[in-house]
A and B are shown apart, each in its own frame.
With several copies, the nearest count.
Chain A
Amino acid sequence: MPSFRVLVTVTLKPEILDPAGQATHQVLQHLGYAVDNVRIGRIVTLTVEADDANSARGVAERMAQDILANPIMESFECQVDLS
């Protein structure tokens, strides 16, 4: 079975407070960077065996929903490549 490289990007929903982003923002500003809207998310990379890219994406999305993201505060995006 071919193996696929899956990349799941998990970000806090926009309305959810992001204390880490906030503190990082504060320090970046102190250092003189003109930045805004700093948010910190997670990126999970893994390889998965599947028949084809489509089913790999299906698995990725199930995993994201199930485990990798917390649906009540986070959203996710999956990207799938042949590895």
Chain B
Amino acid sequence: MRVGVVTFPGSNCDCDTLEAFEFLDVPTKHLWYADTDLTDVDAVVLPGGFSYGDYLRSGALAAKAPMMTAIRDAIQGRDLPVLGICNGFQILTEAGLLPGALRANRHGQFRCAWQTLRVTNESPLFLGLSEGELLRLPIAHAEGSYYAPAGTLADLFMSREVWLQYVDDRGDLNTLTNPNGSLANIAGITRGNVAALMPHPERALEKAFGSEDGRRLLMAWLRGLQERSAHAS
């Protein structure tokens, strides 16, 4: 099981993400946006950061990278599992690999804070994260307000693709704990083998940093990968 982590020009959470997987004893491969070779990776992570400085729209310029074409092909060809974190989420929506879009935060500011999230739908992509479970993770973004047209949003809920939502410490949904104005407090979604979230699990691997829920989340994703690859073989 080898996880590829893509560096786009301006990505700045790529090293944290690579280190997070090394910390979890997972072999990694550092992928460069201009390359297209995905042969020896079993899954890909699009890390957070400011690809192309978030100029034009966050994720828009990176979505056009050769690596994204390769990833699109691999998703279509071999159902490549992909996880997008923060800017990675933005890139995936800009590339049309996930529905919806991420708009500027409602309050117009960058927001760095700890945030409680609820696992809204159990997903085979994250084995061991059960419905209703709460996670505490850091967020750090200026354009994280999830938007999808009404029909798309309804589909997401119907097909249980709404994965994570911003909630208060008791697990309740309310607008006060929505840090950015996301529709339905959406923090993360899945579609097929592609999943993405705005918070940063790679920054919450150990208690000393405030929470180890990021490790739980990444471990769940890795277990999901293993399970599916065992199933496939």
Contact = CB atoms under 8 A, between A and B. Distances in A.
B105 A19 contact: yes
B61 A27 contact: yes
A17 B55 contact: no
Nearest to B105: A19
B104 A20 contact: yes
A16 B103 contact: yes
Contacts of A67: 56, 60-61, 64
A70 B147 contact: no
B101 interface: yes
A73 B103 contact: yes
B8 to A, nearest CB: 11
Nearest to B104: A19
A72 interface: yes
Interface string B76-95: 00000000000000000110
Given A30-B64, A72-B148, A73-B147, A24 B56 contact: yes
A73 B101 contact: yes
A55 to B, nearest CB: 22
B53 interface: yes
Contact of A20 (B56, B64, B181): B56
A16 B147 contact: yes
A60 B145 CA distance: 29
Contacts of B2: none
Given A24-B56, A67-B56, A67-B64, A17 B149 contact: no
A42 B56 CA distance: 9
B130 to A, nearest CB: 31
B53 A70 contact: no
A62 to B, nearest CB: 13
Nearest to B183: A17
Interface of A: 16-17, 19-20, 22-24, 27, 30-31, 40, 42, 66-68, 70, 72-73
Given A72-B93, A73-B101, 20 more contacts: A17-B106, A19-B105, A19-B106, A19-B181, A20-B53, A20-B104, A20-B108, A22-B108, A23-B56, A23-B108, A24-B61, A27-B61, A27-B64, A30-B64, A67-B56, A67-B64, A70-B57, A70-B94, A72-B100, A72-B148
18 contacts: A17-B103, A17-B181, A19-B106, A19-B107, A20-B108, A23-B52, A24-B56, A24-B61, A42-B56, A66-B64, A67-B56, A67-B60, A67-B61, A68-B56, A70-B60, A72-B101, A72-B147, A73-B147
Which are the 4 A-B pairs with shortest beta-carbon distances? A20-B55, A19-B108, A72-B101, A23-B55
